[in-house]
Structure 1
Amino acid sequence: MKITTNLFRMATICWVVVFLMSEPAEAWPEDRAAVPIQVAYDLGFDGEFKRGVWTPVRATITNHRDGDFLGEFVVESEDVDGVPVTFAAPSQSFTLAAGETKTYVQYAKVGRLPWRVLAGIKEQGAEQYLDQKYFDQVSGGNRKATSYFVLQLGPSLPISRSRLQSSLAVDAELVEVSVLQEAQLASLPDKWIGYESVDLMILPTRSSGLLQQLSKAQAQAIRDWVFQGGRLILFAGKQAQALSSAGHPFADLIPGKPTALITDWNTSGLENYGNAQQRIFLDGEVDSLAALAVSDGRVLLRDQENAQALYPLIVRSVRGFGMVVYVAFDIDTPAFEDWDSASRVLEKLIAVGRNAGSEDAALSVQRVNHAGYQDISGQLRAALEKFDAVTPVRFVWIAALLVFLVLLIGPLDYYVLKKLKRPDLTWATFPLAVALVGVIVFAMTRALPSETAWANQIRIIDVDVESGVVRGTDYLAVYSPQVQAVDIQTAQPPRADGQLQIERQFTIAGWHGLPGTGLGALGRNSFQTYVNHEYQIDTQTAQLSSVPVQHGGTKSLRSRWSGQATLDRSSELHADPISGLLRGTLTNPFDIELFDVEILYDGRVYPIGQSFKPGQSIDLFDISGASQGIDNYYARYQTGSSKGERRSWKVMEEPVPRIVKQMMFNQGIGGAKYTGLLNRYESFLDISHALAYNRAVLVGRASQGSSEFSVTSDQTVQPGLAFNFYRVVFTVSTEK
């Protein structure tokens, strides 16, 4: 038996050897064609991302075929309701030559827990994935929507995450700090929306070839992200001249004109700034200082803290709706690596640039969970999902029905049957009581909900007069009385908003998340999905197809877009050299009437009035007597007058206009100390920082305005509430 077995094994081995030797060499390319591509996937930055915001998903693809590979990059995930979503775009269909390697970026949102993301490559026109990778909770890296991301580009700098967390002075369960590093800039997003999760970016420029790694599109994306509301710490140093050269995407991030490179400069101001225990010894050839003639910004630190100071070291300036902290020296040099105070300098710079204030220390998890959301964006979403024609079934009604049922089948049933001396009838009265309550519930479900589908919208348009940059943030809440799928289109360029001709450059739309751990929130673990239906988001055309809305339910969406416009510059504003109050003539720059109009500057609100007609001009001197501090005007008094009643923030009841106004100037009004809520999920809307840096902001509402969203479904969707807010940022002269 053993001999037979051994002979069989030897025969098998010989047959395999003969088969392999007889196979022609030309067959190997066919084997390679079975696996035609090699793909490496990456999610977020440095392996981390925030749930509920646009996140870059990268695929680096190598074509091993002999011919071209026609492929498509697709990403799948689930939204805040657990409904599957496919993210795709025509721009992610590609042709890859034989032997070629390229990186493609798709933008997607990751929804509620337990989260999952599928990134995959298909052949064009195919249904099945040729290559794919799953990311899930085992992969790690997911962070709350309210987390604070510091993205440091280039070589690692001495930044302590734990010390930054402590400096935020807020519960880490609400705002968790992450310090992310991307050493290879070639993989960065090529659209500004790819940085939506980033709160603060640190960009050193000295390292050899660092800036050269950026394509023009990637550099433009960083610039656009700043102008759309991002915060950047830019170490210019030796590269200042190159960065400010005509045509460079970073040219208008520099708050002045570099005049010279200084090889011998006084470091006493920097040493005091870093509370240094030892001096820093510079190499004049390496540690050059870029002398800057500041034209727009505030100098925070000079080379010396006395009258002999010659050069600005740190300048903070407003750019569009964002901010740049310009640093005139390079920090990624051997001298700073050996200096023990470099980390303290970085921490102070981050404190200058960050957009999360110490007012968040008033928060705790226990304080905010009762509302079901932890962020003021949740209150905005809840308010937008209220429809005048729809009466929601309130919890107190359900509780009252349960109490009524218990009384009916308990004490009432007992005493009535006891009085009738027929306890055996309980077999009949019990089902009758249940049936009665069932009829009441059925009647409520038929009578209370509207039989019409409705859509509420909010539009916020911001215009920066100096740069011509325009940004839009639009919200949509759709109500449906029955289960149905709707198609949603966004406005396409060219557009006129308030007779303002806008050259749209980028638009993206998707579902709107709900930070927190309440029902339907991003932080709530749930495996239940009310609608088993997949929908698609085209990230290039900003169209959503077959979005499911459940019976008597709502669906919330949000779009963000950017563009350019030329606005009337006839308004001339300046600060009074003695009082510091805003002066000059202000003209309504739109061809529409604005209502509830104010202009804000340097911590004060100047009420213009209930109406501001097209072309109307006012002298700000005439209304300066009615101006008040921003916190008094918006937070402390009911009417904006010191004689009015004090007002408190009601987490469940505030109207949409007041919520939007709070989000627009959250830090100026008092932030979390006043509202009891974070403003982290959509903190880009808050431009309080601009008010202290030679910027005045005109804000008002319009009764008319174009709609961003168009909803198509089997049932006609009626327009509900529509709010149109406009903000215009003016540069204020300080020379008069």
Structure 2
Amino acid sequence: MTRTLAWGALLLALGVASARAELQFDVFVGYGSSGGADGIVREAGWFPVACEVFNDGPTFDAVFELSSRQLGAGQTRRMAIELPTNTRKRFSFPMFAGSRYASWDARLLDTRGQVRATREDLRTRDLGWETYLLGGLPNSFGGLPAFPQAKHNRPEQQPTVARLSVEQFPENPIALEGLNALYLNSAKAPDFKVTQAQALVTWVQAGGHLIVAPDQITDITGTPWLASLLPVEFNAVVPRRSGGILQNWIASGAALGREGGASGLSPVPRTPGLAPGQPRAPAGTEAGPYSRLAADTAFEEAELPVFEGRVRDGEVQLALLGAPLVVSAPRGRGLVTVLAFSPEREPFRSWTNKTWFWARLCGIPGEWFGDSARNLYGGWSLDAVFGAMIETRQVRKLPVEWLLVLLVVYLGVIGPFDRWFLKKINRQMLTWVTFPAYVVFFSLLIYYIGYRLRAGETEWNELHVVDVLPRGEQAVLRGRTYASLYSSANARYRLASEQPTATLRSEFLGPAGGRQESARVEAVLKQAGFEADVAVPVWSSLLYVSDWEEAAVTPLTTHLTRDPTGRLSLTLQNRLSRTLTGLHVVAEGRVHELGEVPPGQPKTFTLESGSGRRLAEFLAPLHQRFLNAAQRRQRAFGGSDTEFLEPSPAALVAVSLISQGSMGMAAVIGGARAFVYPAGLDLGDVLERGQALVFAWDPGQAPVSASLARFKAPRSTKNTWLRLAVPVVGRGS
């Protein structure tokens, strides 16, 4: 009997081991994840989730599920996949970091709902909202860039490099938006799939910073998408001694982050990108580490293999004996920087100051590596501002004064009044009847007040914020759809999108709101888009946000020139079939309100020097209203008038430039942030590059396929806000 049990246990163990061997299930959460808790995620940013499944057993249809452990909120994603025998499936999708220290559970289920594999309690390494994050695709294991180690003990403020792989590289450009920059060795470019290359190019044009180092010239010439991005054509390799040129360039990093010096936003041509909203050091402070570095004599005397070539466009940041070493060129709203040498080869690989080279190239102020960490805290989510613009006006909040009056009356009735009344009629024992009656009366009164204040018809309001990224006659539309849903009953509503890159999340409340999301979102990912059923409590309003991008015909073409007198001339052509209104142009520190643009023929506007309003004066009152609305929107009581904002063109210009003016320095004043927001939403970096911004209002319209609602609401609105970055042609006198 004992021997039979032993054989049975052995066979069972072998069966379990065989079943485990038949199915390999790995989930990688965050940038640079190896499947453990090492993936890197930035606060209030997008990040990739990659999954790899190998099925060596019988064929079955599976459902992949990833869910957050955040109670009452967070995100859940499901995806149906087919798993034939002896197949390996890889897929990835973007997720939003709506809370700090999040934990995720991944499951693989079959069609009967049986769990076939799990990965539980998946965690990530969280970075602060301002902290610089560089992704790396080196050609060798030791070729990954690195930053200097900060002397403070705040790991969330340590500028970080995440090792990426081509196999897990995202095919959705939104998943790359948590990166400040990406380093790419040219040897990796030929391995990219078409969808991965398209995602990378779109990310750059939408504001990303790509740093490319050549390994072989044929890597570039044989990869058309990469060759078209680069501002340099290489033709030969020549050995040259640096002679201290690189050391001196690093020392110039002492000016980074100062007011009037290098920019604190990403990316600018002269000083490639810092984190969005990154605070500057006060003028006159010493950035120290860059200027105190000791020279490496062995490196300066060694011969550095330099790729020579022709600079097509852009600006030479650093040259050696007339040969460019670092060249940067704008691409749409983003930036491409090319190194004319390989940082993965000797002598650069052994250079003692190479970590500071990467910090200088990425434009990180030296104070980020100092002894004391920044005391940064708080910050309202910019979602609250958009919510205040489109939230239903049917709901009102009870002023706190009336709440206090109601409380005083209630206490007075159940206490002194009840005692006086029963004593007067000499029926004190009736308190067992009167007290429940008072409770019922006031309960009905409170319900009636709530009904009068909050009851209404189901309402759906959409605001589409669309960045137009021109590609010749075509364009890529990078959109953010903000949708407010008010429910007249406890109900579930269906939301969906057919755009391949579309995502869905609920409102991010920000650090000041508890570092979480407002509601749980469960979405089923499709080949093109997603489907979701969202639950909204009775008489409540919830905000949902969908990020997306799609190719389309350019809705608005622009051309901005400067004549010898310094006067700007803007030519616009509205290529839509309807009039665009609320036209605003921001250029050279001034805001110009230009009215409307009819469809069809080009229209030219002249912007005289000194005309328009100063940008700081234009933004200051609006930004203060945004802050007040965001604070009051989270309160349960209070007057509603102060928390609503009208989605006017002026307000949308201001929210698109939230880092400028008084809000731009909010993170320096006592360490308290004003707002936090995902990368790409703020356009202040465009102005700091010397370009102009054109805004236009398309009322009552939504981009094709951008509307989310798959239900009919008695009340609804939709509007679109177009945003374009425009270079200035001509230098004037």
Range of TM-score over shorter length: 0.7 to 0.9
**1:306 equivalent in structure 2:** none
Does residue 33 of structure 2 align to residue 41 of structure 1? no
Residue 217 of structure 1: CA displacement?
A: 3.2
Inter-partner Cα distance in structure 2 for 1:624 and 1:161: 47
C-alpha distance in structure 1 between counterparts of 2:413 and 2:376, whole Å? 42
1:428-443 mapped onto 2 (5 Å cutoff)? 429-443=434-448
Report the Cα offset of residue 331 of structure 1: 2.5
Query: Per-residue CA shift, 1:293-349, capped at 9, x if unaligned?
Result: 141x3443333xxxxx62343344332233333333332333233333322222222
Match of 1:64 among 56, 66, 84: 56
Deviations 1:246-298 (A, max 9, x none): 75332343234445544326554422121253156369876324444141x34
Partner of 2:532: 545
Partner in structure 2 of residue 470 of structure 1 = 477
Q: Does 1:563 align with 2:550?
A: yes
> Is 2:370 aligned against 1:376?
no
Matching residue of 2:255: none
Aligned to 1:641: none
Residue in structure 2 matched with residue 105 of structure 1 by the alignment: 92
Q: Which moved more, 1:665-674 or 1:35-44?
A: 665-674
| Counterpart-to-counterpart distance in 2, 1:576 and 1:724 | 33
Q: 1:322 aligns with which of 334, 339, 345?
A: 334
Matches within 5 A, 1:332-481: 332-351=344-363, 365=377, 368=378, 374-384=380-390, 386-393=391-398, 396-410=401-415, 413=418, 427=432, 429-466=434-471, 468-481=475-488
Per-residue deviation, residues 611-644 of structure 1 (Å, max 9, x unmatched): 2222465544354442344323333699xxxxxx
Map of 1:293 onto structure 2? 311
Task: Tell me the amino acid that sits aligned with residue 484 of structure 1.
Answer: A
Once the two structures are TM-superposed, the CA of residue 555 in structure 1 deviates from its matched residue by: 3.0
1:150: which partner in 2? 134
Q: 1:577 to 1:290 in 2, by over 3 A?
A: farther
1:380 counterpart letter in structure 2 = F
Instruction: Name the CA shift for 1:622/1:541 in 2 (closer, same or farther; >3 Å).
Output: closer
Aligned to 1:135: 121
- Using the TM superposition, give the Cα deviation of residue 726 of structure 1 relative to its aligned residue in structure 2, in angstroms: 0.9
* One-letter code aligned to 2:347: A
1:446 Cα deviation after fit: 2.5
Instruction: Please show how residues 67-82 of structure 1 align to structure 2 within 5 Å.
Output: 69-78=59-68, 82=72
CA distance in 2, matches of 1:718, 1:40: 46
Q: 1:316 to 1:628 in 2, by over 3 A?
A: farther
Paired residue for 1:181?
Answer: 162
Tell me the equivalent position of 2:259. Answer: none
Counterpart contact for 2:326–2:337, Cα < 8 Å: yes
Give 1:453 shift: 0.6
Q: Residues of 2 paired with 1:148 and 1:655: CA distance?
A: 34
2:606 to 621, 627, 648: 621
Describe the SS at the equivalent of 1:58.
strand
RMSD: 4.2
Q: Which amino acid aligns with 2:510?
A: G
- Whole-Å separation in 2 of the counterparts to 1:348 and 1:20: 62
**Normalized against structure 1, the TM-score is what?**
0.76
Give the aligned partner of residue 493 of structure 2: 486
Return the match for 1:514 from 508, 513, 523.
Answer: 508
Q: How many residues align?
A: 652
Distance 1:339 1:31 in 2: 49
| Structure 2 contact 422–430 (Cα < 8 Å) conserved | yes
What's the CA shift for 1:147? 6.3
What residue number does 1:593 align with? 579
For 1:441, what is the secondary structure of its paired residue?
A: helix
Asked if the contact 1:226/1:323 (under 8 Å) is kept, the reply is: yes
Alignment correspondent of 1:235 = 212
* Mapped partners of 1:227, 1:79: distance in 2: 35
- Contact 2:316–2:327 (CA<8 Å) still a contact in 1? yes
Moved more, 392-401 or 549-558: 392-401
Q: Percent identity?
A: 19
Secondary structure of the corresponding residue to residue 141 of structure 1: strand
Q: Which amino acid aligns with 2:346?
A: P
Match of 1:121 in 2: 108
What SS does structure 2 have at the residue aligned with 1:448?
helix
Change (3 A) 1:462 1:598: same
- Deviation track 1:661-708 (CA, whole Å, cap 9, x = no partner) reads 233223344434369755543231222222344633210212231363
Q: Distance in 1 between matches of 2:622 and 2:702?
A: 33
Distance 1:466 1:603 in 2: 27
Q: Deviations over 1:429-479 (max 9, x none)?
A: 544443332122111132222341101111112213355332221111111
Structure whose CA Rg is larger: 1
Q: In structure 1, the residue corresponding to 2:66 is in which secondary structure?
A: strand
Instruction: Tell me the SS of whatever aligns to 1:540.
Output: coil
| 1:255 to 1:618, Cα distance in 2 relative to 1, 3 A | same
Q: Distance in 2 between matches of 1:604 and 1:374?
A: 27
Letter in 2 for 1:57: V
38-47 vs 626-635, greater mean Cα deviation: 626-635
Partner secondary structure for residue 152 of structure 1? strand
Q: Deviations over 1:11-30 (max 9, x none)?
A: 734x5788899x9xxx9899
Q: One-letter code of the match for 2:618?
A: Y
Q: Alpha carbons of 1:285 and 1:730: their partners in 2 closer, same or farther (altered >3 Å)?
A: same
Q: Give yes or no for the alignment of 1:223 onto 2:223.
A: no
2:133 alignment partner AA: F
Could you tell me which amino acid in structure 1 is paired with residue 90 of structure 2?
Answer: T
Contact 1:299–1:315, Cα closer than 8 Å, also in 2: yes
Distance in structure 2 (CA, Å) of the matches to 1:20 and 1:387: 64
Alignment partner of 1:190: what SS? coil
What one-letter code is carried by the residue in structure 2 that aligns with 1:701? W
Aligned to 2:179: 199
Asked whether 1:254 is paired with 2:224, we answer: no
- Distance in 2 (alpha carbons) for counterparts of 1:648 and 1:191: 31
Per-residue CA distance 1:6-55 (angstroms, 9 max, x = gap): xxxxx734x5788899x9xxx98997357521222221123233576554
1:202 offset after TM fit, Å?
A: 3.3
Question: CA–CA distance in 2 between the matches of 1:256 and 1:73?
Answer: 46
CA contact (8 A) 1:80 1:111 kept: no
Question: Secondary structure of the equivalent of 1:666?
Answer: coil
CA distance in 1 between counterparts of 2:714 and 2:216 reads 56
Native 8 Å contact 2:95 2:175 kept in 1: no
Q: Distance in 1 between matches of 2:557 and 2:702?
A: 25
Following superposition, the deviation at residue 182 of structure 1 comes to 1.4
Whole-Å separation in 2 of the counterparts to 1:211 and 1:55: 21
Which deviations, in whole Å up to 9, do the C-alpha atoms of 1:90-127 show, x marking residues without a partner?
5xx134442x544333444565578442222234x332
Residue 691 (structure 2) aligns with: 695
Report deviation, 1:80: 7.2
Superposed displacement of residue 86, structure 1: 4.2
Deviates more, 1:474-483 or 1:141-150: 141-150
C-alpha contact 1:73 1:119 (8 A) present in aligned 2: no
Deviation string for 1:578-626 (max 9, x for gaps)? Answer: 63x5335344444322222122234333332x32222465544354442
Give the AA of the match of 1:273.
W
Query: Is 1:270–2:257 an aligned residue pair?
Result: no
Cα 1:541–1:555 change in 2 (3 A) is farther
Q: What are the ranges of 5 or more consecutive residues in structure 1 without an aligned counterpart?
A: 1-10, 167-171, 304-308, 493-503, 639-645
Distance in 1 (alpha carbons) for counterparts of 2:627 and 2:707: 30
The one-letter amino acid of 2:700's match is Q
